Amino acid sequence: MKRGFKQLLESVVKIDVREVAFEAGTKRFTGGIGSGVILSADGLVLTNAHVASPRAVEINVTLANLERVSAKLVGWDHWTDLALLRIDLVEVKRRSLKFSHADLGESGKLFPGQEVFAVGTPHGLTRTVTRGIISNNNRYFEDTRGVNGYETGTFNTWLQTDAAINPGNSGGPLVTNDGKVIGISSRTYLGANNLGFAIPSSTAQRVVAGMLREGGGITRSYIGIVPKELQDLENFYSLALNTGMLINSVEPGSPAAKAGLRSGDILLTLNGASIDGRFPEQLPPIQNLIANQPVGASLKLTVKRGTETRDYAVVTEKLESRVGEEWALEKWGLSVRKVSRAYARENQLDDASGVVVIGVQPGFPAAAAGVSRGDIITKINDQLVLSLDVIKAAQAAYETKPEPTLFEVQRNRRVSLYILKP
C-alpha cells in the first residue's frame, strides 16, 4: 500500500445524523448513519445528499482517531446525491483535535477492471475497507425518487464497482490504491450481489466548487424537455449517425412548450454546439449543457421536425425539484408540502399554488374533518394558500383562538370543503 492510502484512511469519517420528518402529521426525529471523507484542512466533508439533508437537526462526525465532533451542512445537491459538511473548527481547536484530508483523483482516467477500494461505515462498522474493481466506468441511470423522494441521476453517470457497498457506506469514498478519491459510494442494487454505484469524482469536483461558490445549493437551468437516446431511430428520422437527440417529452407549461417544441422533435444543436444523443450514456452531459446555462438566458435550439429544420428561442427557468418544502401543523395533525412548479406540471394542476397533504394524524382535527394524504389544500377560510406561510399563519391564529376553519381541498380534480374544528 502506498503512503497516500494511509492518509486516506485517516480522512474517512462516520456521520451520525438526527433529522426531522414531517410525514405523520407531526414532527418526528429519526436517526441515520453514513460515511464521509474530509477534503480540506479547514474541515470540509463530502458525503451523500441522502445521508445529510437540510432536514438534519444534528450532525456528528466521528474522526478516524475516534473523536466525535459536530458539523454543519454547508451544501446540498440531491440531483447528484452530494452534500458538503463543515466540521466545527472552533470545537476542533478547543479540543486540539487532529484530522487528515484526502485528495480527489481523476475519475475520467479509470478503466473497467482497475482495482478500487471502498472505505466507510457499513451498518455502523467504522473504518471498513472493502476491495473490488471498476465494473463499469460510465453507467447511466436516473431515479425520480432516488434521494429520499428527490430526483437524482439526471446530470451524471455513475461508476459501478464490485467492492462491497452496504447501507452505511453511503457518502464514503471509493479510492484507488494510492488513496485518491475517485468516487463517492452511494447506492447498490438491493437483492443483487456486488453491484455498487458511486458518483464520479469529476462530478463531485464540479458540484463541490459550485456549492462553495454559491454558498449552498447548485443553481441549474431548466427548459422542460425529457430527452431520449436516438439509438435505432436514425433511419426513421432520416438522420446521419451520431447527430441529434430525441425530445421524448415536453413538459406542459415549460419554457420548451411555450417556445413551441413538441415531443418527437429532434434537437440538432444548442447555441450552435451540435448535439449527439445516440446512446443513453450521452444524455447526462447534454442535460448538463442545458443546466449550466444562466437562468433566464435565451437559448437557440435547432430542431428537426419531419423534414423541416428550424430554430427555436427558449428562455431558461431555474430548475426545481418536484419535492417542495415541508412542514407539520401539529395542532391540526397535518403534514404538508408546498406544491412546486414541477409537481404542478406532473399532476396537471393549473398553477403551483396550494400545499399537498403528506400525512395526517388520526384523531386530530384534519383527519376528523376528512382531509387525507394526497389532498391539495388550495384555500383556508377566504385566503388562497400561495405559500407555506399562509397555512402556518392560519394555524397560529387557530392556536390563539381555536375556531372552526374552512379548508378548500382538491383531490384529483374534485373540490371538497372541510371544517377543522377544535
Partner 1 sequence: MTFRLLFFAAFLLAPAALRAAADLPALWAERVKCVVSVEYVTETETERRPTISMGTVIDTRGTIIIPSGAIDPRAATWQLKDFKVYLPGDAASSPAEYLGQDAFSGWHFVRAGETTRAKLTPVTVFAGQGASPVPALAEFVWGIGLRNKDEDFAPYIMQSHVALIQSLPQRTAIAQHEVAGPGLPVFNRDGVLIGIAATSFGQSFLQFSRRNRGDPVLLVNVEESSAFMLAEEILPNLGRIPKHVSGRPLAWLGAYGLEPMDRDVAKFLKLEAQSGAVVSEVLEGSPAEKAGLKDRDIILALDGKPLPSLKPERVVVTWLEREIDRRVPGDTFALTVLRGSARVELKAVLGEEPKLLREADRKYYDRLGFTAREFVYGDAIERRVKAAEPSGVVAHFVKPSSPAAIAGLRQDDWIKEIDGAEATSFTVVAAKLAEIETDQARAEFVLLVSRSGETAVLRIKLK
Residues that bind partner 1 (CB under 8 A): 226, 228, 232-233, 236, 246, 248-252, 263-264, 306, 345-346, 348, 369-370, 404, 406, 408, 410, 412-419, 421
- How distant, in Å, are the alpha carbons of 63, 77, 107, 180 from that of 211? 23, 8, 20, 21
Kindly tell me which of 216 and 370 has the beta carbon lying closer to partner 1.
370
Hunting for cell 374552512 — which residue is that?
A: 406
Which residue type occupies 297?
A
Min separation Cβ 228 and partner 1, Å: 7
Q: In degrees rounded to 5, what are phi and psi of residue 179?
A: 85, 10
Min separation Cβ 411 and partner 1, Å: 9
**Is residue 139 within 8 Å of residue 158, measured between CB atoms?**
yes
**Residue closest to 237 by CA, chosen among 278, 209, 201:** 278
H-state helical runs in 184-333: 201-214, 255-259, 283-291
**Is residue 135 within 8 Å of residue 110, measured between CB atoms?**
no
Determine the Cα–Cα distance for residues 219 and 222; give it in Å rounded to an integer.
10
Kindly tell me which of 86 and 305 has the beta carbon lying closer to partner 1.
305
Q: Kindly tell me the sign of the dihedral angle through the C-alpha atoms of 226, 228, 234, 235.
A: negative
Contacts of residue 396, defined as CB under 8 A and 6 or more positions apart, other chains included, come to none
Kindly tell me which of 140 and 237 has the beta carbon lying closer to partner 1.
237
Min separation Cβ 307 and partner 1, Å: 9
Kindly tell me which of 313 and 415 has the beta carbon lying closer to partner 1.
415
Kindly tell me which of 106 and 350 has the beta carbon lying closer to partner 1.
350
Determine the Cα–Cα distance for residues 135 and 155; give it in Å rounded to an integer.
21
Min separation Cβ 383 and partner 1, Å: 14
Min separation Cβ 415 and partner 1, Å: 4
Which residues are known to be catalytic? Answer: 50, 81, 170
**SS3 of 293, please?**
coil
Min separation Cβ 344 and partner 1, Å: 11
Kindly tell me which of 96 and 348 has the beta carbon lying closer to partner 1.
348
Min separation Cβ 345 and partner 1, Å: 8
In which element (H, E) is residue 115 found? strand 115-120
Min separation Cβ 363 and partner 1, Å: 17
Determine the Cα–Cα distance for residues 239 and 95; give it in Å rounded to an integer.
66
Cα angle: 31, vertex 37, 40; to 5 degrees: 125
Kindly tell me which of 16 and 265 has the beta carbon lying closer to partner 1.
265
Determine the Cα–Cα distance for residues 352 and 340; give it in Å rounded to an integer.
6
Determine the Cα–Cα distance for residues 176 and 155; give it in Å rounded to an integer.
24
Kindly tell me which of 175 and 250 has the beta carbon lying closer to partner 1.
250
- How distant, in Å, are the alpha carbons of 148, 218, 376 from that of 415? 30, 37, 9
Q: What share of the chain is helix, strand, coil (3-state, %, to 5)?
A: 20, 40, 40
Determine the Cα–Cα distance for residues 347 and 317; give it in Å rounded to an integer.
19
Q: How many CB atoms lie within 10 A of CB 415?
A: 12
